[in-house]
Amino acid sequence: MNSSGTGIFAPMLQPVSDKMLVEIADEFGSPVYVYHAEQIAARYNMLTHAFRHHPTRFFYACKALSNVNILRYIKRLGGLLDCVSINEVKLGLYAGFAPDEILFTPNCVDFTEIQEGVELGVRVNIDNISMLEQFGNVYGGTYPVCIRINPHIVAGGNYKISTGHIDSKFGISIHQLRHIERVVKTTGLNVKGLHMHTGSEIKDVEVFIRGLNIMFDVAIHFPELDFIDLGSGFKVPYSDDEQETDVNLLGERVAAAAAEFEQNYNRRPEIWFEPGKYLVSECGYLLVKVNVIKQTTATVFAGVNSGFNHLLRPMFYEAYHRIRNISNPDGARRIYTVVGNICETDTFAWDRVLNEVREGDYLAFSNAGAYGFEMSSNFNSRLKPAEVMIEDGVARLIRKGDVFEDLLRNQVV
């Protein structure tokens, strides 16, 4: 039986209607980020259903979207929290998570940040030998610790989002296991968990199983484990022809592999996952207004009142986002290059077929819930947008948009 959430399967929801999105843009202005709460619940319940055959817990990777209203909603669903900075930890505590409901996995931080995590009482996950030695010398066996392993598995949509390869800065190499054992023996570390994360956009279930088997091989060196954390990387579709991770098949394979391992391990460690994009990507929309239609000898530009200062993923990862004209959904189909208003090359989409776009129309970017607002900036002294959450059919403001004074707030004059 799953240890968290409702365990009730829920199908994917229909996208928020164009009419409602236009009303939100009219009411709250644009650009604006919009999040559909029930879509998060649908994805969360898919996971709890898929992994119901083995004790499994889900720690939401809040780096994807850290608005405290989103965090509180996920806590209501039964989810736990994965944090990568001490301020994410503090946001989680502020949102109502108990310390033992938070897993803290920092990378390349000063040891004082890890100590602050200990002082706050959260679960600590360490990903390099140096920090592991310092932790052991200070805390020994008095404070439980998780160790992040790099399994040297190349996984994910591209090298930028793969974190388990041999050149990755994340995790302690699987080939340094003897060194880890020496540190544990010397300092008396109380190792309660093992962790790995190979990347994002993983469609092949076998990648997870290969990683799980590596973790089982490591686990026999640590006889008191409470959990094995496989990170995440579940793929959600961004375009119509993309395949998502078959979490139901994965749940069956994980349960079978775990049952076999536990026969000899004499304990039943929980399996943990850290879904971020999987939970919030589809819930989000970025609504923008078309400022100008500009025809050149090469293309027709639809220039919008946003840019990579609001949605960086297309420029940073070459990520694809569906775009639709929500003001003219029945217009003739035409080809546009959608660009932003930043004084840099900020092309959202080349040669995209859209319903006829007119100046003043609203466009909606889909799959904007993960790493959208979270990676936004004030580049070109542009203002960050507002955030709106739809729950039970009602849209409410969960973050005000910037005003000019916000640009000056921390400047010393």
Residue numbers annotated as active site? 343
Identify the CA nearest to 338 among candidates 274, 293, 370.
293
Q: CB neighbours (10 Å) of residue 260?
A: 12
What is d(CA 7, CA 51) in angstroms, rounded to the nearest whole number? 9
DSSP 128: S
Which residues touch 87 (CB under 8 Å, ≥6 apart)?
none
Three-class SS state of 122:
coil
What is d(CA 321, CA 300) in angstroms, rounded to the nearest whole number? 19
Calculate the alpha carbon distances from 28 to 32, 93, 181, 303, 371 in Å: 7, 29, 56, 20, 21
Q: Which tokens is 106 given?
A: 């920092």
Q: CB neighbours (10 Å) of residue 87?
A: 11
C-alpha angle 222-208-124 in degrees, rounded to nearest 5: 45
What is d(CA 22, CA 285) in angstroms, rounded to the nearest whole number? 12
C-alpha angle 371-229-114 in degrees, rounded to nearest 5: 70
DSSP 283: T
Three-class SS state of 197:
coil
